[in-house]
Each structure stands twice: as C-alpha cells, then as structure tokens.
Structure 1
Amino acid sequence: MKLTTGWLKPPSASIGIDHLGTQAPCGMIYGQLLPGITNVTDRARYYSFYPWLVWSYDQRHSKDNPAHFVEHFRRADCLFTLIAERHSQVGDQDDERHGIAMVGRNKLITALTRLRAGGSLRLSQYATTADSVDRYFVNRLGGLSQYYAGTLANLMIMQTSTTSWTKYSTEYGSLLARDFDTNVAGKLFWEKVEDDEISLADLDELSSFCACNIPSSPAECQHLTDIFFDGKVRYGEEGEQRRRSLALIQQLANALPGEEDLSEEVFRACAYTGVLPGGLPWTIPQALQNTCAHWVVYVRNDLLSVAFQTILSICLTELQPKTSDERGKFGSIEAFSDWFVGSDKMDEVLNELEYETFVNLVEHASILGPDLGDWGDMGHEIQLGKQLIAGWRGGAEVPLLLARSLELLAMLVARDDLTKQPYSGLVITADSLRDYPINLVSFRNRGADWQAMSVRQMTSDLMLWCMNTHIRVALRKLRQSGRSTFQLHPSELGVEVACVQVPVPTQTTPRFRQAVRILRDLGLLTRDGGKTRLTDPGRRLMEVASV
C-alpha cells in the first residue's frame, strides 16, 4: 500500500492577495453597506433570469435527471449571453447596456462572430462540460454557481444546494420568475435550447431577453427594484443599508456639476470629504448621513491599506539581492530595518519631508496641510493614495514613494477624530479584526506611539510591523489553505524574498461599479452625453429612499 506523508510535502506556492490583511476590514465595511450586491454580480437581470430558468425548466421537464438539467441549463446560459451581445451589435452598440459582464461573454463573442459569417451555431459546442477551447464556462452551473448563487440565496430568491440541481424559493423566487415570464418569449427560448441550433434571426427574435430590457418588463422591474431597495421591508438592517447606499449614489449623480461624470473615484472623494468637484459642498439628506459616515470609514481604511502595501513593497524591493553576493545580507528583519533607516535612501526621504520627528510631520499635516474638502490638492490624502498607486506602477524611486507613504499616514493621524471609535456604527469587533493586525484601531494606537519617535525610528517600527504582519498573515493562510503566499521568509541564509514579482499596491473595489450598473439596468440611471445621470423614475425613487 502506498503511503503519502502529507506533512513532509512542501506547500504549493500561490501569488496570493492582501498580503497584510489590510484590505479585509475594507471588505467587511462595504459588505455591510452594499449587501446583496457583490463584485461579481454585475447585472440585475441575472437576479430574475436564473430563478426563471429553473422555474421554467420545472414546467417542462421532470426533476429526476440532473445530467439533463445541467446540459440544458448551460445551453440556456450561453443563449442568454448571445442574445445580449447580438442586441448590442444590431442596436446602439452600447456594450454597457447589453453585453458587458454577461457570463462567458469573451468566449461567446467569438461564437457570435462565426455565426455572423453565415450559417447557424450549436449551443452544445460552447455549453459542453468537457475540457474544450470552446467551453464557455468551467463551473457546471455556469454563472449561477460561480457568481450569483450565494447572493440569490441570501436574498431568499433561490435555495442553496450541494448537488448539480438548484431550486428557486417558492416564496419569492417563483413570483419573480413569473414576472420575468410575462414579457419574454419563453416558449421560443426553450425550443432553441432543445433544438441546440440558433441563427442570427433567432437571436433577434429573442431580444426581449436582453439585460437592457428590465424597464420594458414592468412587473419584473418593480419586483427587482423592491429587492434592491427593500421596498417590502423583507431584509432588515441589510436591506436598509443597501437602500441607503444606493440612494447615496443616486444623490451624488443628481448633485454632480454638468461636466463631471459619476465614477468610483469621484464617489470616494465626495463621500470622504462632503465636497463636490469644483469645491461646492455636497448636501446629503439627514437620513443618509450615517451611511455616508460609514463610507468615510471605508475610504480611510482603504487609504491606510494602500500606504501599508506600499511600505511592504518597498521592503521587498530593498531586500532583493542585486548580486549573488548580497544573498543573505540580512540575518533578520530587524537587521534590515536598522540598515535601511541608516541608509542614503532614508536621508533622501528626510530631505523630501523636511521634518525629523513624526509629531512635526503630523503637526504640519494638521496646520499647513490641505483642508479636508480640498481633495484636488496634491498633498491631500486622496491624492497621496493615488500617487502611491500610480507611482509604483510608473517606477517611481523608493525615497519618493516612502516619503509620500509617510505623508499619507501623517494625514490620517491628523484627521483622526479621537472622540469616535474607528469603526463606529459598523459591526466590526475586536474578534473579527484578530486575524488582521493592521487596522484603524491598531493604527490609532501605533500612531500615538510614533509621535514620540523620530521619523527614522518610526520608519523602522513601521517596516517591522509590515514584515511581521505579513509573515503572520501568510502563516494563517498556509494553515487554512495549505498554500504558501509568503513574499519573504527567514532562512538559514537570512531573510529572503520569496516572490518573483513584488506585489503592486492596489485599492479595494467596493461594489460601486456593480451598484451603478444595476441602477442603470433598472432604468434608474442613464448615460446622457457621456455622463451618468438620474432618470425621472430614478429621481422619484431617490427621494423616497432618502427619507
């Protein structure tokens, strides 16, 4: 009998993400502010199409053949995407309205190109579960299992399942499916799925299925709007927070100057500062102010994360041996940090900052730094965060990146309102932060300690905090997943860099893009002259949701 001694096997390496765990609290925050919308649930019509797909299959077939269900589900999933892409090509060619973010789109665009060249297309060629270059999606139940199943279950639209079969909820899912069914050519759709052969004319005849057509299906549109804005008060605190955040996005779209477009970048800055592009105050209804305050915490935590990611990347860059003789140059991370703060590069940092102590750097930020509302100033924390990301990608020198990181941290310390808890009003406890040592709570405590230090001492402590935290986070991931995500590790030769490429500092993605796309799918936002603006139904709903 063959025995495999698992504990002797080296762990498989993985590039990994969030090497410091600084992005996790950001995810906790936006997860509470936009529940029911995730970074992979991009289109509102999937919230009604998937329950309809299972419901309408049940009207036509028995429930005792999982293989038949999977085969027909995958064909239908492909057909749904092909319809949307075709509708874009023969209509306004606006991908954002039709084909963007549809499941398997990249593969199926190629299929549609072949179809346009003449003849017909077999759905099974792309819906196959076999390992094929044409396969539209690996997961057996396509975009439902991969992206939407958990969210639809949380919204009580569908039920989770550990088998190949999936079910709609009889309380909400079946009603939504029936609403969807009233405005689509369901009989023809299933005929084409069964026939396994489609033409361009078929896709045109099925255009009512396109993701852009929710506003043309009044009962479905109202049902989906009630889900996202919790019009029936079914979802408790989660429903209220989702409604408030969506209303806040609508409020910003309504308040922006005519030349400005609604974007995640603008939303971050306006929510954080309460000031619109151009300097006018953003007047937010009283009912939405707590929600906006939570988004302020999100932006603050994300800026903190970008600064610390940059520090870790600087450490990894400086630890990498330039020649073979330099390998094992540092016996410990303490030896490295001591070396760095005594180096010429640290001297350049101090020349850039013009301050020797961290408390003076914080005082400068507080007294001479830009006002909170002046977020276009290059010294503002919003701009400093952008400079770190762009600077790293653009190959900026280490001293400049480190100086900007320290300025950003000093700005965050200077802006900290000590009368409030760092995560006030959010369900984020000490226990939930236990695996993420660098967070707004620990940063407040560390920031107080740093004000008794010189900038050199503070930088040494900062680098040690980053490197120790990374090792702790990587050890936890190794224990939980069996995968090694170490970017550096101690060895018999000393501290060694384990990554091939130093990770690039990044922002988190707070579901904003998905929320805007869903609002547009529902007909509540529209593109007008290249700008995103409220529709009349959107304005009416915003007013109701903002009280």
Structure 2
Amino acid sequence: MLNLNRLPDGIALLNWNSELPSSGTGDPLGMTLRVGARLGAELLHCITSITPRARYYSFFPWAFQRAQERIGTSDNLDLTMRLVLVDERAMTLGAVLHHEGRPCDGGSLQGSNRAVDFVAQRTKGTIDLTKWNHLRDNTSGFDAYKGSLINLGMFEESTDPGEAAVKDEAEGSTSLQSGRLSPRGQKIAESFGRAVAKTEFNNIHTKISSVDLDVLAEFGAASGLCELRYADKFDLLPLRDLFFAAQSDDQHNSHFRRRMSLLLLLWAVDVTNEAGVTLDAQSFDDLTYYRIISDELGEVTSVKTPPVLEDISERWRIFHFHNYLTTALESLLAGLVRAIRHHPAGRTVGEVLEAFNSAEARSALGEYLAIELPIPFMDLTPTESLALLEIDCAAAKVFEANPLVERLLRSSLVEEDLVSGLAGPAVATLLLFALLLRYKTSVKEAHKGWNTKKVIHPFADVAIPTVEMALTTDLGNDWWNLPNREVMSRLLNRFVVRQHETMSYEKGFGGSPPLFRVDGTMIVGMDLIRDDVDPGNPRFPSAMQVLRDLRLIVNDPEEGQSLTPDGRTMLESFLESGGS
C-alpha cells in the first residue's frame, strides 16, 4: 500500500530554483490579432510590424540564389539555410563595421546589438561566421521575412498573387519546401547581386569559413540596410516595383491595396508637411478618420482626399474604427477587472454595472465632463448619454458641436489614464456609443460590407458589425432609447465576459493568463489588472521605413519629413493615371 507520508523510491518532487515569470495579458479580447490583423494584412500586405526594412526583401532572395549556386542544387534546403545564415551574419557584421561600430540608420538590422558589441572589441583580423551568432539560439532573421517573401511571389511555392484577393496575409502560404526562386524572385536577387558583385566577399569559396573583417566592411558598405537609399537604380527600382505591385493592375487583391496604401502615405506626408505637421500614427489617423490635420496648437484644418485615394482612405478609416472599438471594449474590461478584484466570491454582471454606477463614479464622470449629471449614468439612454457630449442624434450634422469626440475620449482613457479611474467605464461607454453612431451615419455600405467580410468566426471575431447586430437582434432597432444599464448588460456579457472566456480558452495552456473565471453567474477575479488599452497601428512605422528605404520620403532636420523628388514624381504619376 502507498504510504503518503513517505515517497516511494524513484519519485522526486520538482524543486524550483527561480520564480517563473507571469504571462502577459496581451489582446485579451482577440481584437488585435483577429479582425484587426486581417484589416492590416490587406491594407499593408506583406509589410508587417517585424519586416520594416526594404533591403531584406532583396537580400534574402539573393542569399538563397547564391547558396544554391554554390552547392549546385536547390534540393537541399537544410544546407541552403545554413549558407543563407552565414551571409546574413556577414551583412549584419559588415554593416556595423562599415559604420564604425554603429548599426544602420533607421534600425532593425537584426542582430546588430551583438555586432556592435563585437566591433567594440575588434575591428581587425578574421572571424569564423559559422561559429559567430548574431541572434540567439543560432536563428536567422529570415523567419520574420519568410511569410512576406512567400506571399510576394519570391519562391516557386509562393501564393499566386491572384489568390491574395481571397487570402489575407495571416492565412497565406508560409511554408518553404525547396527555397527555389520564382522568376520574380530571381529578378530581385539579381538586382542585389549587381550591387555586391564587386565585393571580395561575393567571391569567397563555400568551404572558407574565416573572413577578414575588412572584407566584411566592404560587403557591408554595399549591402547594408541604409545603403539602399544611395543605391543605383538597378538596385532600387526593382524593389519599388515590388512594393508598388507595378506588374499588376488587378484591383481586387491585397497587393493592389498595399500599393494604394503606400500612395496614400506619400500623399499624407506631402499634405501634412505643407501644413507644418510631421506625419505620425496620430496624424495619419486624423487624416483618414476625420479628414483633418491638427497642428501642435490644436488648430484644425479640413483636408480633401484626392478622388483616386478616397477608397483606400475609407478602408483605413474602417481600420481606425476598429482601433477605437478595441480601446472602448478593453477599457470596459479593465473596469470590470478592477470592480471584481477585491471580491473573492466574485460579482455578477449586474453588480459590476452597479459598481460602475456608484456615487463616486458618478461624481468622477461629472467632474470629467464639467457638468452635474441629472440622473445616474446607467439610468440614462445612449441618446441622452451622447447629449452630454453635445452630440444630437437627431440633428442633420450629428457631430458638428463635437467633431473630434472619439479622439478626445480615447486620449482621456489612454493618455490621461482615465481607464484606471472611476470614470473609466462610463467614458469607454461614451466612446462606444459615439463610434456606433458615426459608423451608422457616415460609412458607405460598400465599406461596411468590406468590414463585415473580415468577420470570419462570428462567435470569436469582434468588430463594429457584430456589435451592431447583437444590439439590434437582442434589443431591437430602438436600443438607442433604452437605459444604459440594459444596453451595457448585453455588451458586457457578450463582448467582454464571454469574449475573454473564448480567447482564454483558445490561447490555452502557456498563453496569456485569464483575467477572471466564470462560476455560474459569478465573475471571479484572478487578482490581475490590465490598463494597456491602446492597440496602435503596428504596421505604420514599417511602411514609413520602407518608403524611406526606397528613397521616396526623407527626414530633413530643417524641412521635416517630406517627399523626395522621386517620391513626388511617383505620387504625381500615379494620381494622374488613376492609381495604375
């Protein structure tokens, strides 16, 4: 019989020698990595948050072609990848050597930190690139760019460009069987090959592993990320053609969307520069969501979008609608988590709503709005709630008195940290109502339909169309005139509580920990909080960096961010030709 007071021979308990780090709570409602990712993947197809440098898009095809030529076959992917890794290390270390210990301007040279550390110790002698690791665990930066290169048609097994009309980037092909380049990939590889053809490194024999550091510096001077900005046209133009999908005028695939997004960014750089404003994620949001430019003093100027860019601008507007919705719902989640935190037995949704409706919360909201609420917030209707913001749902120009209401509310939640305060849930609710009203009154049916198509799994994907449908189906078309308590009960149950449960289940063991668990009608907290509710625009910085690398925009210390002569010529040419 087993003696529970004495462990049998051969059994030992785990003895932890350090505390395990807690998992993060990123994307707790699945808003960013589901519908948000699908919108971004179509708008900037193959330009992701981790693929910001244009040079890598030609370097890797060249490295694959060079490796296969050196080993005499394209049937040995494992050996090909090892040789690609060596060339990647050569480019990384060579660029830092060329820049006298600094990484390339603009950053994102993968492994540059280790290269900088190396160059701080040595600038002369040789190095065995098969033994020096620029990244952890002997990995390659190719993993970050692989999906984009495959979906751009660089390899024989790549997704056909025509298929991009029905596949978003996350669902496209990301597997590599042989690494054989397609004709398009060969053309891109040859352009990079011409750039480094005269370097001594280019002619090094396969079996030679030790390389002189001076040879690497010469290679880095020709192959570095920022060197592309000063490259000859034979090196630069094929990459411009690639990113702007110059070989295709099919207006129904994601490559066309990327072209139009990049053109929209070029136009946005130009129009904001004329207004004395530097284009960043916020000003791009303002330009596409509100059609305005706001300067440092808060002065607002209306802007008319060129006709050829109206469609892509409206699609970016849908993206920003989704971002605002993410902030609103995640702020409600943050308020719920705080409301249940010190209640070990948990609370019901009704009890959470009463916590949102407390006298202290009512006072905090009144102070924020600089008014005295006539009745408790949960007893108001959505229509009456928006009236607190001078938004008249029955007026011809609904938002005339408060045109930038969503921006102001989000800023209050994120930048002023109201999300962690007593007024946070009510402010998030006002943001949600304002969003739904603007979407209903200002978005064309065609773009509503495009947004709806990004909802693939109705019970797991949250977007404005699913929120609208749930409220209308459950509460009727007149839900705008029901008490907030009734409306918010439905929203919290479906789009906060159940949605977080669904996402926690999908992530499973090893993923982000749930912020609460549900026991019958009780929501039981896990003693966690989450107040980071700004999803941002993760692909925007990468797209801007690509345009800088392609020598289409430039940052000037005196004139700010502006178009280069090539950028202006390209923009004007596309606008005149209707985007073709």
Q: Same-fold call, TM > 0.5?
A: yes
AA matched with 1:53? A
Please report how far the alpha carbon of residue 426 of structure 1 lies from its aligned counterpart in structure 2 after TM superposition.
2.1
CA 87–454 in structure 1, closer or farther in 2 if over 3 Å, else same: farther
Shift in CA distance, 66/365, structure 1 to aligned 2, threshold 3 Å: same
Q: Is the 8 A contact 1:306 1:506 kept in 2?
A: yes
Residue 302 of structure 1 corresponds to which residue in structure 2?
323
Moved more, 287-296 or 184-193: 184-193
**Secondary structure, counterpart of 1:224 in structure 2:** helix
Question: Of 50, 66, 84, which residue of structure 2 is paired with 1:40?
Answer: 50
Q: What is the letter of the counterpart of residue 241 of structure 2? A: D
> Over residues 182-229 of structure 1, what are the superposed CA-to-partner deviations in whole Å (9 max), with x where a residue is unaligned?
121465224298333342564145401111233413123111111111
What is the aligned-residue identity percentage?
20
AA at the equivalent of 2:119: L
Tell me the SS of whatever aligns to 2:41.
Answer: helix
* CA deviation profile, 1:12-64 (whole Å, cap 9, x unmatched): 99535321122222222121111121121111111111010111122222336
Q: Does the residue aligned with 2:132 lie in a helix, a strand or coil?
A: helix
Q: Deviations over 1:148-196 (max 9, x none)?
A: 1111111111245999875242311111111211121465224298333
Q: 1:505–1:200: structure 2 CA closer, same or farther, 3 Å change rule?
A: farther
Worse-superposed segment, 278-287 or 266-275: 278-287
Partner in structure 2 of residue 293 of structure 1: 314
Q: What residue in structure 2 maps to residue 6 of structure 1?
A: none
Q: Which moved more, 1:341-350 or 1:400-409?
A: 341-350
Amino acid at match of 1:199: L
Distance 1:160 1:13 in 2: 40
Per the alignment, residue 66 of structure 2 pairs with 56
Whether the 8 Å CA contact 1:341–1:459 is kept in 2: the answer is no
Q: How does 1:499-538 map to 2 (within 5 A)?
A: 500-502=528-530, 504-529=532-557, 531-538=560-567
Please name the residue that 1:103 is paired with: 110
Partners in 1 of 2:50 and 2:548 — Cα distance? 16
Measured after TM superposition, the shift of residue 449 of structure 1 is 5.6
Q: 1:210 aligns with which of 218, 224, 233?
A: 224
Q: What aligned pairs does 1:362-381 form with structure 2 within 5 A after superposition?
A: 362-365=386-389, 367=391, 380-381=405-406
For 2:199 and 2:557, how far apart are their aligned partners in 1? 38
Q: State whether residues 53 and 73 of structure 1, in contact with CA within 8 Å, keep that contact through their aligned partners in structure 2.
A: yes
Q: State how far apart, in whole Å, the 1-side matches of 2:177 and 2:487 are.
A: 57
Superimposed CA distance per residue, residues 102-128 of structure 1 (whole angstroms, 9 cap, x where no aligned partner):
222233322232224x6544423333x
| Structural RMSD (CA) | 3.4
Give the conservation status (yes or no) of the 8 Å contact 2:331–2:424.
yes
User: By how many angstroms is 1:506 displaced?
Assistant: 2.1
Residue aligning to 1:132: none
Return the offset for 1:239: 2.4
Q: 1:246 to 1:484 in 2, by over 3 A?
A: closer
Name whichever of 537-546 and 77-86 sits farther off.
77-86
Unmatched runs of 5 consecutive residues or more in structure 2: 1-20, 159-173
| Distance change (3 Å), C-alpha of 1:385 and 1:170 | same
Q: What is the correspondence of 1:69-468 to structure 2 with a 5 Å cutoff?
A: 69-89=80-100, 95-97=104-106, 100-116=107-123, 119-127=125-133, 136-138=135-137, 140=139, 142-144=140-142, 146-159=143-156, 166-185=178-197, 188-190=200-202, 191=204, 194-200=208-214, 202-204=216-218, 206-215=220-229, 216-233=231-248, 237-256=253-272, 257=274, 259-277=276-294, 278-321=299-342, 326-330=343-347, 333-348=348-363, 351-352=366-367, 354=373, 356=375, 357=380, 358-365=382-389, 367=391, 380-392=405-417, 397-418=420-441, 420-421=444-445, 423-424=447-448, 426=450, 428-429=452-453, 432-445=456-469, 446=471, 450-465=479-494, 466-468=496-498
CA distance in 1, matches of 2:177, 2:121: 32
Q: Equivalent residue of 1:280, what SS?
A: strand
Which amino acid in the other structure matches residue 79 of structure 1? Answer: A
Q: Shift of the alpha carbon at 1:262?
A: 1.6
For 1:512, the aligned partner's letter is: F
CA shift, 1:265, in A, is: 1.4
Per the alignment, in what secondary structure is the counterpart of residue 222 of structure 1?
A: helix
Q: Secondary structure of the equivalent of 1:167?
A: coil
Residue 366 of structure 1, CA deviation: 5.7
CA separation of 1:196/1:295 partners in 2, compared to 1, >3 Å: closer, same or farther? same
Distance 1:302 1:126, change over 3 A: same
The alignment status of 1:539 with 2:568, answered yes or no, reads yes
Q: Is the 8 A contact 1:366 1:415 kept in 2?
A: no
Distance 1:101 1:397, change over 3 A: closer
Unaligned 5+ segments in structure 1 are 1-11, 128-134
SS of the residue 2:543 aligns to: helix
Scaled by the length of structure 2, what TM-score is found?
Answer: 0.78
Shift of 1:424: 2.6
User: 1:131 matched to which residue of 2?
Assistant: none
The alpha-carbon distance between structure 1 residues 457 and 200, as it changes in their structure 2 partners (threshold 3 A), is farther
The reply on whether 1:475 has 2:515 as its aligned counterpart is no
In 1, the alpha carbon distance for the partners of 2:53 and 2:37 equals 20
Distance in 2 of aligned mates of 1:147 and 1:173? 17
User: Match for 1:209: what amino acid?
Assistant: S
Q: 1:430-464: per-residue Cα shift (whole Å, max 9, x none)?
A: 86141435321133343856422334444444433
TM-score normalised over the length of structure 1: 0.83
Q: Letter of the 1:399 partner, please give it.
A: L
Matched, 1:496 2:524: yes
Structure showing greater relative contact order (alpha-carbon pairs closer than 8 Å, 6 or more residues apart): 1
Aligned length in residues: 510
2:28 corresponds in structure 1 to: 19
